[in-house]
Chains A and B, each alone.
Chain A
Amino acid sequence: MYILVSIAILITMVLAVVRALMGPTVYDRVLAVNVFGTKTVLLLSVVAFLNGRPDFLDLALAYALINMVGILAVLEFFQNRSQRNSKAKND
């Protein structure tokens, strides 16, 4: 039961990495990283239960909180970059 779900999550992680490598715009890549992060949390929780070690759920909790910080940081600095690029184009 848990094994099927974890294989499904693994396959989606592979697809997300393909999208990260393939995406033409940077936003596609950031989206792929976000999906990868959420699937990591799911995979960690499911595998922690699969192995019967529920005290490993701390990792999933930590990562669920950190995922958003990473994405917000990427977006914040991305705005700087696009502002800089448009300023460079205007100069």
Chain B
Amino acid sequence: MIDLALDIMSWILLTVGGACVLIGGIGGLRLPNFYTRIHAASLTDTMATLLIFVGIILQSGFTLASLKLFAIMLFLLLTGPTATYALANAALLSGLKPGPGRSGLKPDAGTAKDKTKENAPE
């Protein structure tokens, strides 16, 4: 009985976690601006980490593997927002202004010629 309840909880958590991951990925492509993309990437990252890892921990019971999973989850939860903060700070300090502008319509491979078209020094 408890096993069934744990299985159902795991299923739900893993599925919602997978959906979060997908939403984050799609958001990273479709959103117009760097700052909006960073919202999509970081929020869904953290949420998916929580959900998926709790789902797996529920499945594996009280073993060493659960402890390792808990440690991984803790480190991801600590370092994910820090990296996001550092990235957004670096972008802001080097001149990329958060605004309603739309960028990213033209795919390119980072060639030198579109430095003149961006308002941020690259």
- The chain A residues found within 8 Å of chain B, CB to CB, are 1-2, 4-5, 8-9, 11-16, 18-19, 21-32, 34-35, 38-39, 41-42, 45-46, 49, 54-55, 57-58, 60-61, 64-65, 67-68, 71-72, 75, 78-79, 82, 85-86, 89
Contact = CB atoms under 8 A, between A and B. Distances in A.
B96 A25 contact: yes
B109 interface: yes
Interface string B59-101: 1100111001101100110011011101100110110100000
Given A27-B91, A31-B87, A46-B52, 6 more contacts: A4-B18, A11-B25, A25-B96, A31-B38, A45-B52, A71-B83
Contacts of A57: 65, 68-69, 72
B6 interface: no
Interface in B1-47: 10-11, 14-15, 17-19, 21-22, 24-26, 28-29, 34, 37-38, 41, 45
A32 B45 CA distance: 12
A45 B53 contact: yes
B86 A72 contact: yes
For A8, A21, A22, A30, which residue has the most chain B Cβ atoms within 10 angstroms?
Answer: A8
A10 B97 CA distance: 32
B71 A61 contact: yes
Contacts of B71: 61
Nearest to A5: B18
B28 A35 contact: yes
13 contacts: A1-B11, A5-B18, A8-B19, A24-B104, A24-B108, A25-B96, A27-B96, A29-B110, A34-B84, A49-B60, A64-B72, A65-B79, A79-B94
